[in-house]
Amino acid sequence: MSTKNLLIEAIKDQQNIFGDDLYENLNFSNQIKNNFLNDNSVKEKPEFYMPPKSLFENYSEYKTLESFNKKINTCQKCPLGKTRTKFVFGAGNPNADVMVIGEAPGADEDAQGVPFVGRAGKLLTDILKAIDFDREEVFIANILKCRPPNNRNPLPEEMNECTPYLYKQIELVKPKVILLVGLISASTLLNTKLSLTKMRGNVYEIQGIKTMVTYHPAALLRNPNWKRGCWEDVQKFKKLYESLK
């Protein structure tokens, strides 16, 4: 990666973790801050967000992940349908107790059609192993099923088209607990603009399923000093899971 891109990724990581606080602490003027964040609608309590029922209406006839995959894997609802190599539906145990949700496929995932198989994926596998979960026993999916060009952040319109697929997957898998990795996944599914710092360690709910949040493994690769915090998060996540068994 070029130095410029590394810098951009590093700043994005900082914003992902510290959210508005980063800019507050830098004492930016409101105008500059609003240009960066465009955020006047912070919701302090994302715990009980329920996605609208209409998100599920179209898919009630699909009773298995397999049939649902067949239905959607030729999707062309957004321009990423044209640029993807492979549709990345999600992978793992269709009856998993644990579901892990990331952001979007990267280059490796796009090539293989499987989520989290690149460097970040290997780290995710290790994080799961650290709390005694095999990758095969959980179900792993993303907010977006197709790779955004150059791994840019998902656009709102792409997420709007794609999240109904994810909600249906959650409904079919019916996990006991969900782990959201990274701010994009957390803020989208909990419908909040809170920073990751403020969300970490709390237990939320998605459709009645207990949900926790931690760093994205790609951010951990760039900022290894956050691994300790991730370790603490996943220990709490494991305890939550044990308490529900």
- Contact window for ligand URA (CB under 6 A) among 7-15, 109-117, 167-175, 229-237: 109-117
203, 210 Cβ separation under 8 angstroms: yes
Q: Which is nearer to ligand URA, 28 or 75 (CB)?
A: 75
Give me the least distance between CB of 166 and ligand URA, in Å please.
12
Q: Which is nearer to ligand URA, 46 or 121 (CB)?
A: 121
- Per-position b or e across 166-192, b if 16+ CB within 10 A of its CB: bbbbbbbbebebbbbbbbbbbbbbbeb
Q: Please report, as residue ranges, which positions from 115 to 154 form the binding site for ligand URA (by CB under 6 A).
A: 115-116, 120-121, 142
Q: Please report, as residue ranges, which positions from 69 to 108 form the binding site for ligand URA (by CB under 6 A).
A: 102-106
| Number of shown-chain residues binding ligand URA (CB under 6 A) | 12
Q: Which is nearer to ligand URA, 23 or 142 (CB)?
A: 142
Neighbours of 43 (CB within 10 A): 11
Give me the least distance between CB of 184 and ligand URA, in Å please.
8
Q: Which is nearer to ligand URA, 115 or 164 (CB)?
A: 115
- Contact window for ligand URA (CB under 6 A) among 18-26, 76-84, 113-121, 130-138: 113-121
d(CA 98, CA 173): 9
CA 244 to chain centre: 22
User: Where is 207: in which H helix or E strand?
Assistant: none
Distances (CA, A) of 12 to 8, 35, 60, 62, 155: 6, 15, 38, 38, 15
Which amino acid, 35? N
Q: What are the residues binding ligand URA (CB under 6 A)?
A: 102-106, 109, 115-116, 120-121, 142, 218
